[in-house]
Amino acid sequence: MRSRTANRSGIVIRRRVTPAGDIIVTLLTPQGKLKAVARGGVRGPLSSRLNLFHHVGMQVYQGPQNDLASVQQAVLEGALPTLAQPERYAFAHLLAEFADALYQEGEFSEQAFELFAGALRGVAHQPDPEWVALVMSYKLLALAGFIPQTARCARCAQDHPTHPDPLGGQLLCRGCAALPAYPDPSLDFLRNVARRTVRASMDAPLPAEQRPALWRALERFVTVQIGSVHSWRQLVPTSTALSA
Ligand SMILES: [Zn+2]
């Protein structure tokens, strides 16, 4: 039984206000994910600092009894104001939920933090935030060890599948498929995005009409492998043309 104070720096990926006016935040930090409570925080100066997507430095106190660390102080170290724009906010929100679902508390991952921070900056500043979010979602998944199988049909294991797998978000062969094959650029993306550099993927964006099918594949893959991510509903293109 011991208590301690620690300084941690990270990005707010989840924020919830309780009826008592406490702010419960989850940060992604280079030392892993951290959850903490700012007691009564909603009525004080911490309220505006502990906002979603803010990079904050916090002094947290871990008491001997309570398992949730409490925020003693917080300073704003960086913010990306353009993330408030509706067309960027939804993608940033999705990436934050992704990071929350993929990485566990106490799991040390400086690489995950850097990748996530880069993804948020890209969504904040790039002219095509949807493309950034799609590429970085697959990269975050790959870093956490989730890579869609693209070399074999997800149902019968035949080589070189080229069709969507509407249940698992992987790939099916022609014999197992009910949907038309992916266009070549989409196939190239699915087969290579996990190992290709972010820059190379950024330099070769897919046309908008090929993206809804990739979002759907990603949603299915994540739902099957990890569990549902709440932001899908507000974000993923709802066009049904390709799934009909
Ligand atoms: Zn098959």
72 and 116 part of one domain: no
Domain end position, chosen among 28, 47, 79: 79
Rounded to the nearest whole angstrom, what is the distance from the C-alpha of residue 159 to the centroid of ligand 1? 8
Q: How long a stretch of residues is the chain? A: 244
Residue 238 pLDDT: 55
- pLDDT band for position 241 (cuts 50, 70, 90): very low
Q: Residue 155 Cα, ligand 1 centroid: separation in angstroms?
A: 5
194 Cα–ligand 1 center, Å = 23
Residues 163 and 220 both lie in one domain: yes
Residues 152 and 211 occupy one common structural domain = yes
Task: Using the 3D structure, point to which of 56, 79, 102 is the last residue of a domain.
Answer: 79
Same domain, 50 and 140: no
**What is the C-alpha separation between 55 and 50, in angstroms, rounded?**
9
What is d(CA 158, CA 200) in angstroms, rounded to the nearest whole number?
Answer: 29
C-beta of residue 75 within 8 angstroms of C-beta of residue 57:
yes
How far apart (Å, rounded) are the C-alpha atoms in residues 200 and 188? 12
Let me know the angle formed at the C-alpha of 156 by 151 and 162, rounded to the nearest 5 degrees: 45
The whole domain housing 162 covers 83-240
Tokens representing 218 are 């990603």
Residue 70: its H or E element: strand 69-78
Please state the rounded mean pLDDT for residues 163-178.
Answer: 96
Conformational region of residue 19, where left means phi above 0, alpha means psi within -120 to 50, and beta covers everything else: alpha
* Averaged pLDDT of the chain: 91
pLDDT at 244 over 50: no
Q: What separation in Å is there between the alpha carbon of 175 and the centre of ligand 1?
A: 6
For 110-154, the pLDDT digits (tens) are 999 999 999 999 999 999 999 999 999 999 999 999 999 999 999
Predicted confidence at residue 236, as pLDDT, reads: 67
For residues 19 and 96, membership in a common domain is answered with: no
**Spatial distance between the Cα atoms of 113 and 28, rounded to a whole number of angstroms:** 6
Q: How many domains does the chain have?
A: 2
Do 87 and 75 share a domain, yes or no?
no
Residue type, 100: D
161 C-alpha vs ligand 1 centroid, how far in Å? 7
What's the CA-to-centroid distance between 54 and ligand 1, angstroms?
Answer: 45
Q: How far apart are CA 126 and CA 87, in angstroms?
A: 12
Last residue within a domain, chosen from 79, 105, 140 = 79
Domain check: are 63 and 146 in the same one?
no
- Give the distance (Å) from ligand 1 centre to CA of residue 201: 28
CA of 176 to the centre of ligand 1 (A): 4
User: Ligand 1 centre and the CA of 182: distance in Å?
Assistant: 15
Distance 143 CA to ligand 1 centre (A): 27
* Structure confidence by residue, pLDDT tens digits, 20-44: 999 999 999 998 899 999 999 999 9
- How far is the centre of ligand 1, averaged over its atoms, from the C-alpha of 97 (Å)? 32
CA of 209 to the centre of ligand 1 (A): 26
CATH of the domain at 93: 1.20.1440.120
CA of 204 to the centre of ligand 1 (A): 29
CATH of the domain at 20: 2.40.50.140
How many H helices and E strands in the chain?
8, 7
